[in-house]
Amino acid sequence: MSSDEFPKEFSPEELINLYKKMLLIRSFEERITKDAGKIKSPLVHPYIGEEAIAVGACAAINEDDYITSTHRGHGHFLAKGGDLNSLMAEIYGKKDGMCKGRGGSMHVADFSKHMLGANGIVGAGPPLALGVALASKLRNEGRVILTFFGDGAANQGMLHESMNLAAAWKLPIIFMLENNLYGWSTPSANVTAIKDFSLRAQGYGMKGLSINGNDIIEVYKTVKEAVEFARKGGGPTLIECKTYRWGGQTTMDADKYRSTEEKEEWKRKCPIEAYKTRLIRGELVDQQIIQEIEEKTLILIDESVKFSKKSPKPDPNTALDNVYKNPIEYGGN
């Protein structure tokens, strides 16, 4: 699918907003990577290098469509319209975080934005999304759900059970495979015989595509087509987005299993730089506008850090709030 042209349905402002959103995700991840030692949030998984997937895909759905995310979920959260300050505060474990500081990085969610949550269990998003897609179909809502997952999750049984039922019941769900070539330190090529995961789709009776996940317009166009197909009752699509995570698996990972050459090669394929070049070539922005966007983005990040530092810690007396209590054990309360 050619992505040479900008989609006609976007205004120049909307096209620039896609750039701003990718840059916001990048800057957020860079900041928490830099401050990782100071922030008491365990296991943060940065999304640097993969920004075009979340932003391109979420631009192709409506506000009332749903997504499920992964353990690497900050990018999905921001791309679906989640609030920057509440995300930063959650990473800081503060009361003004969207989970009141109780969830941390791997549980970021915003139901008001139909972002149904990150997930610390690899491969657990797709079966949740399957249920949402079934509900949408039974209620005739016309809503679709994008479920993001990695190449490691792609070899999990529950993903395959979900793809099977989704195709059998023609559910409005798009399987968004973020193939960053590694499941933690394991190269996916060592544990997977096929080169393109999308080949598996045929075995379940659905369409499968492998695309350049670092090309935001290609991601957008592919997802949009799959979404239109799903809304018409055509059923699911598997979209494999080839990409690469620039940093370690987490901010605590020494990342000794990947060569410098490999990392450098992928940095040259930066999704944000590539899109910036296209915006400049299309005369939608110039260097001065880019610089202003960069400066404003860093100000937003600084403000979110200030907001988080000011926010109080959760009150220990509320530790059991929102925790499921067995009504029998607790006398029916």
Ligand X SMILES: Cc1ncc(C[n+]2csc(CCOP(=O)(O)OP(=O)(O)O)c2C)c(N)n1
Site residues for ligand X per CB under 6 A: 70-72, 120-122, 150-153, 178, 180, 182-184, 249
Nearer to ligand X, 229 or 246 (CB): 246
What is the side-by-side order of every strand in the sheet holding 237-242?
Answer: 66-68, 145-150, 173-179, 237-242, 207-212
**Taking the complex as a whole, how short is the minimal distance between the CB of residue 305 and ligand X, in angstroms?**
25
Q: How many chain residues bind Mg ion (CB under 5 A)? A: 4
**Taking the complex as a whole, how short is the minimal distance between the CB of residue 178 and ligand X, in angstroms?**
6
Taking CB atoms within 8 Å and a gap of at least 24, the contacts of 252-255 are 252/36, 252/43
**Taking the complex as a whole, how short is the minimal distance between the CB of residue 182 and ligand X, in angstroms?**
6
- For residue 117, which phi and psi values (nearest 5 degrees)? 120, 145
Strand residues in 164-220 grouped as ranges (E):
173-179, 182-183, 186-187, 207-212
Using rule CB under 5 A, residue 150 touches Mg ion: yes
Q: Which stretch binds Mg ion (CB under 5 A): 11-19, 67-75, 112-120, 182-190?
A: 182-190
Contact track, Mg ion, 161-180, x by CB under 5 A: -------------------x
Nearer to ligand X, 218 or 240 (CB): 240
Find which of ligand X, Mg ion, none residue 72 binds, CB within 5 to 8 Å per kind.
ligand X
Give the other-Cβ count within 10 Å of 3's Cβ. 18
Give the dihedral of Cα atoms 278, 11, 17, 58; nearest 10 deg: -100
Nearer to ligand X, 54 or 279 (CB): 54
**Taking the complex as a whole, how short is the minimal distance between the CB of residue 3 and Mg ion, in angstroms?**
23
**Taking the complex as a whole, how short is the minimal distance between the CB of residue 204 and Mg ion, in angstroms?**
21
Nearer to ligand X, 41 or 180 (CB): 180
Find which of ligand X, Mg ion, none residue 199 binds, CB within 5 to 8 Å per kind.
none
Cβ pair 188, 179 in contact under 8 A: yes
Tell me the residue nearest to ligand X as measured from the CB.
150
**Taking the complex as a whole, how short is the minimal distance between the CB of residue 303 and ligand X, in angstroms?**
28
Tell me the residue nearest to Mg ion as measured from the CB.
150
Nearer to ligand X, 213 or 235 (CB): 213
Which helix (H) or strand (E) segment holds residue 67: the answer is strand 66-68
Nearer to ligand X, 178 or 215 (CB): 178
Enumerate the β-bridge partners of residue 178. 150, 241
Cβ pair 252, 43 in contact under 8 A: yes
Report H helices in 139-215.
157-168, 188-191, 200-204
User: What is the number of helices (H) and of strands (E) in the chain?
Assistant: 12, 7
Exposure string (b/e) for 292-306, b if CB count within 10 Å is 16 or more?
ebeeebeebbeebbe
Find which of ligand X, Mg ion, none residue 272 binds, CB within 5 to 8 Å per kind.
none
Find which of Mg ion, ligand X, none residue 71 binds, CB within 5 to 8 Å per kind.
ligand X
110 DSSP assignment: B
Question: In terms of DSSP bridges, do strands 207-212 and 66-68 run parallel, antiparallel, or are they unpaired?
Answer: unpaired
**Taking the complex as a whole, how short is the minimal distance between the CB of residue 80 and Mg ion, in angstroms?**
21
Nearer to Mg ion, 88 or 241 (CB): 241
What count of Cα atoms within 13 Å lies in the side-chain half-sphere of residue 17? 11
Interaction site with Mg ion (CB under 5 A): 150-151, 180, 183
